[in-house]
Amino acid sequence: MERIIKRTFWLNKLESLWQKHNIIWLYGVRRAGKTFLSKSVLDIMYFDCELPRIRTMFDNPEDFFASVRGKTIVIDEIHRLGNPSETLKIGADYFPDIRIIATGSSSISSSVKFKDTLTGRKSNLWLLPMTLDDMRDFRRDDIERRLLRGGLPPFFLSIGYPEIEFQQWLDDFWSKDIQELFRLEKKHSFTKLMELLFSQSGGIFDASRFARPCEVSRTTISNYLKILEETTAAYVVRPFSSYKPAEIISAPKVYGFDTGFIAYWRDSGKPSNEGKGLLWEHLVLNEIYAHLQHRKVFYWRDKRGHEIDFTIYSDKTKPAIIECKLKAENFDPAGLFAFRRRYPSGKNFLVAANQSVKFTKSFKNLKVTIISLKDLPGELKSIQTG
Protein backbone atom coordinates (compact mmCIF):
# COMPACT_ATOMS: atom_id res chain seq x y z
CA MET A 1 0.00 0.00 0.00
CA GLU A 2 1.40 3.37 -1.03
CA ARG A 3 2.08 5.72 1.86
CA ILE A 4 0.20 9.00 1.65
CA ILE A 5 2.39 11.93 2.66
CA LYS A 6 0.54 14.80 4.29
CA ARG A 7 1.43 18.03 2.47
CA THR A 8 0.53 20.27 5.38
CA PHE A 9 0.87 23.60 3.59
CA TRP A 10 -1.72 22.62 0.98
CA LEU A 11 -4.02 20.83 3.43
CA ASN A 12 -4.16 24.01 5.50
CA LYS A 13 -5.01 25.95 2.34
CA LEU A 14 -7.90 23.57 1.64
CA GLU A 15 -9.30 23.94 5.15
CA SER A 16 -9.10 27.72 4.92
CA LEU A 17 -10.88 27.84 1.56
CA TRP A 18 -13.71 25.60 2.76
CA GLN A 19 -14.65 28.39 5.15
CA LYS A 20 -15.66 30.41 2.08
CA HIS A 21 -17.28 27.89 -0.29
CA ASN A 22 -18.16 24.21 -0.22
CA ILE A 23 -16.48 23.68 -3.61
CA ILE A 24 -12.73 23.98 -4.21
CA TRP A 25 -11.35 23.86 -7.74
CA LEU A 26 -7.91 22.25 -7.33
CA TYR A 27 -5.79 22.76 -10.42
CA GLY A 28 -2.19 22.43 -11.48
CA VAL A 29 -0.01 20.68 -14.01
CA ARG A 30 -0.09 16.94 -14.56
CA ARG A 31 1.65 14.95 -11.79
CA ALA A 32 1.90 17.91 -9.41
CA GLY A 33 0.07 15.70 -6.90
CA LYS A 34 -3.59 16.77 -7.07
CA THR A 35 -4.91 13.23 -6.65
CA PHE A 36 -2.65 12.31 -3.75
CA LEU A 37 -3.25 15.62 -1.99
CA SER A 38 -6.98 15.04 -2.28
CA LYS A 39 -6.73 11.48 -0.99
CA SER A 40 -4.78 12.67 2.05
CA VAL A 41 -7.78 14.69 3.30
CA LEU A 42 -9.35 13.02 6.33
CA ASP A 43 -12.41 10.80 5.67
CA ILE A 44 -12.50 11.55 1.96
CA MET A 45 -14.66 9.79 -0.64
CA TYR A 46 -12.81 9.59 -3.96
CA PHE A 47 -14.39 9.43 -7.43
CA ASP A 48 -12.14 9.10 -10.50
CA CYS A 49 -13.93 10.34 -13.62
CA GLU A 50 -11.41 8.55 -15.82
CA LEU A 51 -13.51 5.44 -15.11
CA PRO A 52 -16.72 4.94 -17.15
CA ARG A 53 -18.64 3.50 -14.20
CA ILE A 54 -17.85 6.62 -12.15
CA ARG A 55 -18.98 8.93 -14.93
CA THR A 56 -22.28 7.00 -15.04
CA MET A 57 -22.86 7.82 -11.36
CA PHE A 58 -23.03 11.51 -12.31
CA ASP A 59 -25.69 11.08 -15.00
CA ASN A 60 -28.15 12.39 -12.41
CA PRO A 61 -26.15 14.77 -10.19
CA GLU A 62 -29.03 15.35 -7.76
CA ASP A 63 -29.33 11.64 -6.96
CA PHE A 64 -25.57 11.34 -6.61
CA PHE A 65 -25.20 14.27 -4.23
CA ALA A 66 -28.19 13.10 -2.19
CA SER A 67 -26.33 9.83 -1.59
CA VAL A 68 -23.25 11.57 -0.14
CA ARG A 69 -24.84 14.27 2.04
CA GLY A 70 -22.57 15.57 4.75
CA LYS A 71 -19.47 13.95 3.23
CA THR A 72 -16.20 15.30 1.87
CA ILE A 73 -15.70 14.11 -1.70
CA VAL A 74 -13.15 14.37 -4.51
CA ILE A 75 -14.30 14.47 -8.13
CA ASP A 76 -11.02 13.82 -9.93
CA GLU A 77 -10.60 14.69 -13.63
CA ILE A 78 -14.09 16.21 -13.59
CA HIS A 79 -13.71 17.54 -17.14
CA ARG A 80 -14.36 13.97 -18.30
CA LEU A 81 -18.03 14.40 -17.36
CA GLY A 82 -20.52 15.46 -20.02
CA ASN A 83 -21.50 18.69 -18.23
CA PRO A 84 -19.09 19.29 -15.34
CA SER A 85 -20.11 22.89 -14.68
CA GLU A 86 -23.78 21.91 -14.24
CA THR A 87 -22.75 19.13 -11.85
CA LEU A 88 -20.76 21.51 -9.65
CA LYS A 89 -23.46 24.18 -9.82
CA ILE A 90 -26.02 21.72 -8.45
CA GLY A 91 -23.57 20.74 -5.70
CA ALA A 92 -23.00 24.38 -4.75
CA ASP A 93 -26.63 25.53 -4.84
CA TYR A 94 -28.51 22.54 -3.41
CA PHE A 95 -26.03 20.55 -1.33
CA PRO A 96 -24.00 23.04 0.73
CA ASP A 97 -23.39 20.38 3.41
CA ILE A 98 -21.12 18.46 1.01
CA ARG A 99 -17.48 19.55 0.80
CA ILE A 100 -16.23 19.03 -2.75
CA ILE A 101 -12.75 19.03 -4.27
CA ALA A 102 -12.90 19.05 -8.07
CA THR A 103 -9.60 18.66 -9.90
CA GLY A 104 -8.34 19.71 -13.32
CA SER A 105 -5.19 20.69 -15.15
CA SER A 106 -6.23 24.25 -15.91
CA SER A 107 -8.45 27.03 -14.64
CA ILE A 108 -12.14 26.44 -15.24
CA SER A 109 -12.41 29.45 -17.54
CA SER A 110 -9.87 27.96 -19.99
CA SER A 111 -11.66 24.65 -20.50
CA VAL A 112 -14.07 24.20 -23.39
CA LYS A 113 -16.01 21.73 -21.22
CA PHE A 114 -17.14 24.42 -18.75
CA LYS A 115 -20.02 26.58 -19.93
CA ASP A 116 -20.28 28.24 -16.50
CA THR A 117 -17.18 29.34 -14.56
CA LEU A 118 -19.08 29.13 -11.23
CA THR A 119 -18.16 32.64 -10.18
CA GLY A 120 -19.08 33.14 -6.52
CA ARG A 121 -19.72 29.43 -5.99
CA LYS A 122 -16.19 28.06 -5.60
CA SER A 123 -12.70 28.79 -4.34
CA ASN A 124 -9.59 28.11 -6.42
CA LEU A 125 -6.40 26.42 -5.21
CA TRP A 126 -3.41 26.39 -7.55
CA LEU A 127 -1.18 23.43 -6.69
CA LEU A 128 2.37 24.22 -7.76
CA PRO A 129 5.46 22.01 -7.88
CA MET A 130 6.89 21.25 -4.45
CA THR A 131 7.49 24.13 -2.06
CA LEU A 132 9.97 24.31 0.79
CA ASP A 133 7.15 23.16 3.11
CA ASP A 134 6.56 20.13 0.87
CA MET A 135 10.23 19.21 0.98
CA ARG A 136 10.09 19.18 4.77
CA ASP A 137 6.99 16.96 4.66
CA PHE A 138 8.78 14.58 2.28
CA ARG A 139 11.82 14.71 4.62
CA ARG A 140 14.08 15.60 1.75
CA ASP A 141 15.44 19.12 2.19
CA ASP A 142 18.10 18.82 -0.51
CA ILE A 143 17.80 22.03 -2.53
CA GLU A 144 20.24 20.75 -5.18
CA ARG A 145 17.99 17.75 -5.78
CA ARG A 146 14.94 20.01 -5.98
CA LEU A 147 16.62 22.24 -8.55
CA LEU A 148 17.81 19.41 -10.81
CA ARG A 149 14.90 16.98 -10.58
CA GLY A 150 12.16 19.55 -10.17
CA GLY A 151 9.12 19.66 -7.94
CA LEU A 152 6.80 17.01 -9.36
CA PRO A 153 6.82 14.55 -6.43
CA PRO A 154 7.40 11.34 -8.46
CA PHE A 155 10.35 12.93 -10.24
CA PHE A 156 11.82 14.46 -7.08
CA LEU A 157 11.58 11.16 -5.19
CA SER A 158 12.77 8.84 -8.00
CA ILE A 159 15.87 6.76 -7.28
CA GLY A 160 17.55 7.55 -10.59
CA TYR A 161 17.55 10.69 -12.69
CA PRO A 162 14.06 10.82 -14.33
CA GLU A 163 15.20 11.53 -17.91
CA ILE A 164 12.63 9.25 -19.57
CA GLU A 165 9.88 10.64 -17.34
CA PHE A 166 10.49 14.21 -18.54
CA GLN A 167 9.81 13.22 -22.14
CA GLN A 168 6.87 10.99 -21.18
CA TRP A 169 5.31 13.88 -19.25
CA LEU A 170 5.43 16.04 -22.38
CA ASP A 171 3.68 13.33 -24.42
CA ASP A 172 1.00 12.84 -21.74
CA PHE A 173 0.48 16.58 -21.41
CA TRP A 174 -0.21 16.80 -25.13
CA SER A 175 -2.54 13.80 -25.35
CA LYS A 176 -4.40 14.04 -22.03
CA ASP A 177 -4.58 17.79 -21.41
CA ILE A 178 -4.06 19.77 -24.60
CA GLN A 179 -5.96 17.45 -26.93
CA GLU A 180 -8.91 16.99 -24.56
CA LEU A 181 -9.23 20.62 -23.47
CA PHE A 182 -8.12 22.61 -26.53
CA ARG A 183 -8.20 20.20 -29.48
CA LEU A 184 -5.04 21.42 -31.16
CA GLU A 185 -3.67 19.59 -34.19
CA LYS A 186 0.07 20.20 -34.59
CA LYS A 187 1.77 18.17 -31.88
CA HIS A 188 5.27 18.74 -33.27
CA SER A 189 4.89 22.54 -33.31
CA PHE A 190 3.37 22.71 -29.84
CA THR A 191 5.85 20.41 -28.13
CA LYS A 192 8.74 22.07 -29.96
CA LEU A 193 7.66 25.40 -28.48
CA MET A 194 7.60 23.87 -25.01
CA GLU A 195 11.09 22.45 -25.43
CA LEU A 196 12.39 25.82 -26.63
CA LEU A 197 10.71 27.63 -23.75
CA PHE A 198 12.26 25.22 -21.25
CA SER A 199 15.71 25.70 -22.79
CA GLN A 200 15.33 29.52 -22.83
CA SER A 201 13.25 29.86 -19.67
CA GLY A 202 13.39 33.19 -17.89
CA GLY A 203 14.15 35.14 -21.07
CA ILE A 204 12.28 37.91 -22.84
CA PHE A 205 9.60 36.39 -25.07
CA ASP A 206 9.33 37.34 -28.73
CA ALA A 207 6.79 35.22 -30.64
CA SER A 208 8.51 35.90 -33.97
CA ARG A 209 11.69 34.20 -32.77
CA PHE A 210 9.84 30.91 -32.18
CA ALA A 211 7.71 30.86 -35.32
CA ARG A 212 10.29 29.46 -37.77
CA PRO A 213 11.69 26.58 -35.64
CA CYS A 214 8.13 25.58 -34.68
CA GLU A 215 6.93 25.89 -38.31
CA VAL A 216 3.85 27.96 -37.47
CA SER A 217 2.90 31.63 -37.61
CA ARG A 218 3.66 34.24 -35.01
CA THR A 219 -0.06 34.39 -34.17
CA THR A 220 -0.14 30.64 -33.56
CA ILE A 221 2.86 30.93 -31.24
CA SER A 222 1.02 33.60 -29.25
CA ASN A 223 -2.05 31.36 -29.03
CA TYR A 224 0.10 28.44 -27.86
CA LEU A 225 1.64 30.61 -25.15
CA LYS A 226 -1.81 31.62 -23.94
CA ILE A 227 -2.75 27.94 -23.61
CA LEU A 228 0.47 27.18 -21.73
CA GLU A 229 -0.26 30.04 -19.37
CA GLU A 230 -3.85 28.87 -18.79
CA THR A 231 -2.67 25.34 -18.02
CA THR A 232 0.09 26.74 -15.74
CA ALA A 233 2.75 24.96 -17.80
CA ALA A 234 4.39 28.35 -18.42
CA TYR A 235 4.46 31.49 -16.30
CA VAL A 236 4.19 34.79 -18.14
CA VAL A 237 5.78 37.54 -16.04
CA ARG A 238 4.92 40.95 -17.42
CA PRO A 239 6.93 44.16 -17.05
CA PHE A 240 6.25 46.67 -14.30
CA SER A 241 6.26 50.20 -15.67
CA SER A 242 5.09 53.74 -15.12
CA TYR A 243 7.87 55.58 -16.99
CA LYS A 244 7.25 54.31 -20.51
CA PRO A 245 9.94 56.25 -22.45
CA ALA A 246 12.77 54.70 -20.42
CA GLU A 247 11.43 51.23 -19.54
CA ILE A 248 10.53 47.93 -21.19
CA ILE A 249 6.74 48.07 -21.21
CA SER A 250 5.35 45.26 -23.35
CA ALA A 251 7.66 42.25 -23.75
CA PRO A 252 7.00 39.59 -21.08
CA LYS A 253 9.41 37.11 -19.61
CA VAL A 254 8.33 33.47 -19.86
CA TYR A 255 9.32 30.86 -17.29
CA GLY A 256 8.84 27.11 -17.56
CA PHE A 257 6.76 25.69 -14.74
CA ASP A 258 9.43 23.49 -13.16
CA THR A 259 13.16 23.56 -12.53
CA GLY A 260 13.66 19.90 -13.44
CA PHE A 261 12.33 20.35 -16.97
CA ILE A 262 14.42 23.48 -17.42
CA ALA A 263 17.61 21.80 -16.19
CA TYR A 264 16.95 18.85 -18.50
CA TRP A 265 16.22 20.77 -21.71
CA ARG A 266 18.68 23.57 -21.06
CA ASP A 267 21.68 21.66 -19.71
CA SER A 268 20.86 17.92 -19.97
CA GLY A 269 20.42 17.86 -16.21
CA LYS A 270 23.94 19.14 -15.49
CA PRO A 271 23.74 22.94 -15.21
CA SER A 272 26.72 25.20 -14.66
CA ASN A 273 26.81 27.58 -11.70
CA GLU A 274 25.17 30.18 -13.93
CA GLY A 275 22.49 27.64 -14.82
CA LYS A 276 21.92 26.85 -11.15
CA GLY A 277 21.48 30.57 -10.50
CA LEU A 278 18.70 30.64 -13.08
CA LEU A 279 17.07 27.58 -11.49
CA TRP A 280 17.21 29.31 -8.10
CA GLU A 281 15.33 32.26 -9.60
CA HIS A 282 12.66 29.82 -10.82
CA LEU A 283 12.43 28.19 -7.39
CA VAL A 284 11.91 31.58 -5.72
CA LEU A 285 9.15 32.37 -8.23
CA ASN A 286 7.52 29.01 -7.46
CA GLU A 287 7.48 29.88 -3.76
CA ILE A 288 6.02 33.34 -4.45
CA TYR A 289 3.19 31.94 -6.55
CA ALA A 290 2.40 29.17 -4.06
CA HIS A 291 1.97 31.60 -1.18
CA LEU A 292 0.28 34.45 -3.05
CA GLN A 293 -2.00 32.19 -5.14
CA HIS A 294 -2.15 34.80 -7.89
CA ARG A 295 0.06 35.82 -10.79
CA LYS A 296 0.44 39.52 -10.09
CA VAL A 297 4.21 39.28 -10.09
CA PHE A 298 6.23 41.49 -12.43
CA TYR A 299 9.80 42.05 -13.56
CA TRP A 300 11.45 45.37 -14.37
CA ARG A 301 14.04 46.37 -16.94
CA ASP A 302 15.01 49.72 -18.34
CA LYS A 303 16.38 50.42 -21.81
CA ARG A 304 19.91 50.70 -20.47
CA GLY A 305 19.83 47.07 -19.33
CA HIS A 306 19.26 47.52 -15.60
CA GLU A 307 16.98 44.79 -14.30
CA ILE A 308 15.03 43.62 -11.24
CA ASP A 309 14.07 39.93 -11.00
CA PHE A 310 10.60 40.38 -9.47
CA THR A 311 8.44 43.12 -8.09
CA ILE A 312 5.11 42.84 -6.29
CA TYR A 313 2.94 45.35 -4.52
CA SER A 314 -0.28 46.06 -2.69
CA ASP A 315 0.20 49.77 -3.41
CA LYS A 316 1.71 50.48 -6.83
CA THR A 317 3.43 53.59 -5.49
CA LYS A 318 5.41 51.35 -3.10
CA PRO A 319 6.56 48.34 -5.15
CA ALA A 320 8.67 45.79 -3.31
CA ILE A 321 11.54 44.17 -5.17
CA ILE A 322 12.73 40.57 -4.81
CA GLU A 323 16.16 39.72 -6.16
CA CYS A 324 17.45 36.13 -6.33
CA LYS A 325 21.07 34.96 -5.92
CA LEU A 326 22.77 31.69 -5.05
CA LYS A 327 25.32 33.69 -3.06
CA ALA A 328 24.42 36.94 -1.31
CA GLU A 329 27.92 38.32 -1.89
CA ASN A 330 27.37 38.21 -5.68
CA PHE A 331 24.53 40.73 -5.57
CA ASP A 332 25.09 43.75 -7.84
CA PRO A 333 22.98 46.73 -6.67
CA ALA A 334 23.05 48.56 -10.03
CA GLY A 335 19.50 47.45 -10.91
CA LEU A 336 18.30 48.39 -7.43
CA PHE A 337 19.73 51.90 -7.75
CA ALA A 338 18.14 52.41 -11.19
CA PHE A 339 14.75 51.14 -10.03
CA ARG A 340 14.65 53.19 -6.85
CA ARG A 341 15.54 56.37 -8.70
CA ARG A 342 12.12 56.03 -10.37
CA TYR A 343 10.27 54.28 -7.54
CA PRO A 344 11.84 55.48 -4.27
CA SER A 345 9.32 53.88 -1.89
CA GLY A 346 9.09 50.16 -1.16
CA LYS A 347 10.88 47.25 0.50
CA ASN A 348 13.98 45.60 -0.96
CA PHE A 349 14.68 41.88 -0.54
CA LEU A 350 17.46 39.58 -1.67
CA VAL A 351 16.66 35.85 -1.43
CA ALA A 352 19.99 34.04 -1.22
CA ALA A 353 20.53 30.28 -1.29
CA ASN A 354 23.58 30.52 0.96
CA GLN A 355 21.85 32.63 3.59
CA SER A 356 20.31 31.13 6.75
CA VAL A 357 20.10 34.23 8.96
CA LYS A 358 18.03 37.27 8.02
CA PHE A 359 19.89 40.56 8.14
CA THR A 360 19.84 44.04 6.60
CA LYS A 361 22.64 45.53 4.54
CA SER A 362 22.96 49.09 3.23
CA PHE A 363 23.99 49.89 -0.33
CA LYS A 364 24.68 53.63 -0.27
CA ASN A 365 21.38 55.03 1.05
CA LEU A 366 19.29 51.94 0.26
CA LYS A 367 18.63 49.11 2.70
CA VAL A 368 18.26 45.54 1.47
CA THR A 369 16.89 42.74 3.67
CA ILE A 370 18.80 39.55 2.88
CA ILE A 371 16.76 36.44 3.58
CA SER A 372 16.64 32.70 3.02
CA LEU A 373 13.88 30.94 1.11
CA LYS A 374 12.20 29.93 4.38
CA ASP A 375 11.92 33.61 5.36
CA LEU A 376 10.19 34.56 2.11
CA PRO A 377 6.56 33.65 3.03
CA GLY A 378 6.60 35.97 6.05
CA GLU A 379 7.99 38.82 4.00
CA LEU A 380 5.36 38.27 1.30
CA LYS A 381 2.68 38.73 3.95
CA SER A 382 4.31 41.98 5.07
CA ILE A 383 4.26 43.25 1.47
CA GLN A 384 0.63 42.29 0.92
CA THR A 385 -0.49 44.01 4.11
CA GLY A 386 1.41 47.17 3.21
Distance of CA 289 to the CA centre of its chain: 6
pLDDT tens for each residue of 373-385: 999 999 999 887 7
pLDDT at 204 over 70: yes
Q: Are strands 320-325 and 348-352 parallel, antiparallel or unpaired?
A: parallel
Q: Which long-range contacts (CB under 8 A, 24 or more apart) does 301-307 make?
A: 301/239, 301/247, 301/248, 302/246, 302/247, 302/248, 302/338, 303/246, 303/247, 303/248, 304/246, 304/338, 306/334, 306/335, 306/337, 306/338, 306/339, 307/335
Determine the 3-state secondary structure of 255 from DSSP. strand
**Predicted confidence (pLDDT) per residue in 274-291, tens digit:** 999 999 999 999 999 999
Domains of the chain: 8-127 (3.40.50.300), 133-384 (no CATH)
**pLDDT for 216-264, tens place per residue?**
999 999 999 999 999 999 999 999 987 777 776 789 999 999 999 999 9
Q: pLDDT at position 1, please? A: 40
* Residue of 208, 240, 206, 383 lying closest to 310 (CA atoms): 240
What confidence tier does 112 reach under pLDDT thresholds 50, 70, 90? low
Task: State residue 245's pLDDT score.
Answer: 73
